[in-house]
Structure 1
Amino acid sequence: MPYITLSEKLPGITGLLDYRKDTAQPIRELTQILLRGPSTLTEGERELIATVVSNGNGCAFCTAAHAAIADMLLDQPLAEQVCTDIQSAQVSDKMKALLTIARAVQQNGRNVTPEMVATAKAAGATEMELHDTVLIAALFSLYNRYVDGLASVTPSDPAFYQRLGVILKNKGYLPSENRYAEL
């Protein structure tokens, strides 16, 4: 049961963003830039970063939502692999290094070491990719605490996250008319 009154039709962060549209707008814009804007990382790779961080924070809603989107965008089920063991996941060495940095940020930003950064750079990560990985990790740590801190509803039906994934894949993160009509 959420700690504040939220729309029963909008679980997880969707209800929270609907509750305070004024604070939601800048958050949505930043998310759109980081996850859907121009980048040398694919949208699917950026969603994997969000998934790993959410999983590390124990946020079931965000983990399930972003795992669904990542797997859709990558056309293969990689989210569970990276959440289980980054080093054995079927992703590039660059992504392994960036996901390791994201996991460190999720725990504490000071956990990122010069060695982690050197490994990422040696694997081909650019400074922009390092920047965006850290910012995505920090942003999703905020989201995870927002969702869980207000006890937002977390659906247990995997089909819900598939429907949400399709919406976010096709519409991105900015608000739109009847955005969640298909939920």
Structure 2
Amino acid sequence: MPHVSLPGGQPGIIGLLAAFRASERPLNDLANAVMHGPSTLTAAERELIAAFVSRGNECEFCCNSHAAAARHLYGPRAALVDAVLADPAAADLDDEMRALLAIAAKVRRDGRLVTADDVRRARDAGADDRAIHDTVLIAAMFSMFNRYVDGLATVAPADPAVYDEIGARIATKGYGSQFRTPAPGGTP
């Protein structure tokens, strides 16, 4: 049971943003800028990093939602998402993504763990400044989102179809008001 009242039992961050509208726009704007704005990482790679970080933080709602988004974005390569979440060391990743996930894993625990050697490995594998920056920001941002969702004990649906629907919306529409129900009186 959530620690705060959420409209209509909406799950995860969707319920929190619907209940606390003052934080909705800035958080969605941040997510859209980082996850769907200009980057040298694809949207699929960014969603994979988000799911990977959320798995490490044991945030069921965020991991499942962003894994579903990554699957939609990867299309025929969707199985890669589950492989990374099961065992990133054995997943069929290129060296650049492997190095970026290693950085994300460190940021998830403590940003100060990222070393010059970690960054050098990513650069040697082809990552540019933007990819390294975006990886660190995604890992930090999703660690915050994970703590927000779990710290308020939000609902994490058991039905995989719910996450598939959320993932499809993220993949096609980004982050925003399409997730929330109208406020009392019918205005979103």
Shift of 1:80: 1.9
Asked if the contact 1:73–1:169 (Cα under 8 Å) also holds between the matched residues in 2, the reply is yes
Letter in structure 2 aligned against 1:48: L
Q: Residues 44-59 of structure 1 correspond to what in structure 2 (within 5 A)?
A: 44-59=44-59
State the SS of the aligned residue for 2:89. Answer: helix
Return the alpha-carbon distance in structure 2 between the equivalents of residues 12 and 44 of structure 1: 21
Count of residue pairs the alignment pairs up: 179
2:120 — aligned with what?
118
Structure 2 gaps, min length 5: 182-188
Runs of 5+ unmatched residues, structure 1:
none
Instruction: Tell me the equivalent position of 1:26.
Output: 26
**Residues of 1 paired with 2:9 and 2:69: CA distance?**
20
Q: Which residue of 2 aligns with 1:10?
A: 10
- 8 Å CA contact 2:15, 2:180 repeated in 1: no
- Work out the CA distance in 2 between the residues paired with 1:6 and 1:66: 21
TM-score, normalised on structure 2? 0.91
Which of 110, 115, 136 is the matching residue for 1:134?
Answer: 136
Q: Structure 1 residue runs of 4+, over 6 Å off?
A: none
**Hey, what does 1:95 align to over in structure 2?**
97
1:108 aligned partner? 110
Please state if 1:43 is matched with 2:43: yes
Instruction: Return the TM-score normalized by structure 1.
Output: 0.93
* Distance in 2 separating the partners of 1:106 and 1:81: 20
In 1, distance between residues paired with 2:150 and 2:180?
21
Give the alignment of 1:145-160 within 5 angstroms. 145-160=147-162
Change in Cα spacing, 1:9 to 1:167, as seen in structure 2 (3 Å) is: farther
Identity %, equivalent residues: 47
